[in-house]
Amino acid sequence: MSETDGEVDWGNASILDRGGSLLHYWTVGPEDAPVVVLTHGATMDHHLFDEQLEPLLKAGYRVLGWDMRGHGVSKPIGVGFSLSTVVDDLVAILDEIDVRTVTAVGQSLGGYVAQELLFRYPERVDALVIIGATDVTRIPPRLENLALKLSPYLFTVWPYRHLKKTIAENTAETERAKRYAYRAASQLSKKEFVTVWKAVSGALHSEPGYTIQRPFLLTHGDNDRTGTVARDAPLWAEKEPNCRYEVIPDAGHNANDDNPQYFNEEMLDFLGTVQ
């Protein structure tokens, strides 16, 4: 454990140089076990999944955690930041450790990464677990999409110290989870944050008729106030033939960190049905 709110020590990181960014990643567990890859959201890092590490290991999985470029200790941001770039970063890590298929778990932007990994490399994904994200293959209504496209310009003029506090307050419910979210966001400069958010605002792409052809657990916190996640999730679940939909009680956007016990039970029960 570290001295910072009991953050979990994941061991020594491996490092992969990708386009000038030194990607840090951690692999824990037996090399011959099924792999669960955990991808954090914008401004977070691999410690978002501290509360998932031990339960997954005890259940017999190999866990891959990583810091996306520009986040955590994966510095500098490198040649650029886009959803495609981040997905290719993840594929490069999987190739580096000789892992062919994974269960992809992603929170918020990490949920987009997990979906896009399946969309672009369906042969690499066995199942999906999404936390607090919307459907990456659906463009929102015109006014909502316009607001999303304009949001990076708002963040450009927003004082970053206040913005980090707002991120922490709006992504988490418990005080411990809020402190973690603030610490994680503080690892990005304002310029890095705006670069990342521009990628988030342009990540969605319309794919009429597309559905997720893998077992799929869709979750969000019952108090998730980020964007339209809570509003859109039930409609998304209805159109997905392979979806299991669960609302995490007493939790916000970082639902797995706010209420890890409930989330872990749902995640492990789901994984037990697909492995």
**In this structure, are strands 102-107 and 62-66 parallel, antiparallel, or unpaired?**
unpaired
**What pLDDT does 147 receive?**
81
**What pLDDT does 4 receive?**
65
* Stretches in the chain below the pLDDT threshold 50: 1-3
Angle in degrees, CA 110, 114, 115, rounded to 5:
115
**What pLDDT does 167 receive?**
92
Domains and CATH numbers, the chain: 14-274 (3.40.50.1820)
Structure tokens, 16: 């992969």
Task: Encode pLDDT of 22-46 as tens digits.
Answer: 999 999 999 999 999 999 999 999 9
- Distance, in Å, from the CA atom of 65 to the CA atom of 50, rounded to the nearest integer, reads 10
**What pLDDT does 152 receive?**
80
Q: Which residues of 214-251 are buried (b: 16+ CB within 10 A; e: fewer)?
A: ebbbbbbbebbebbebbebbeebeeebeebbbbbbeeb
**What pLDDT does 33 receive?**
97
**What pLDDT does 151 receive?**
82
**What pLDDT does 183 receive?**
97
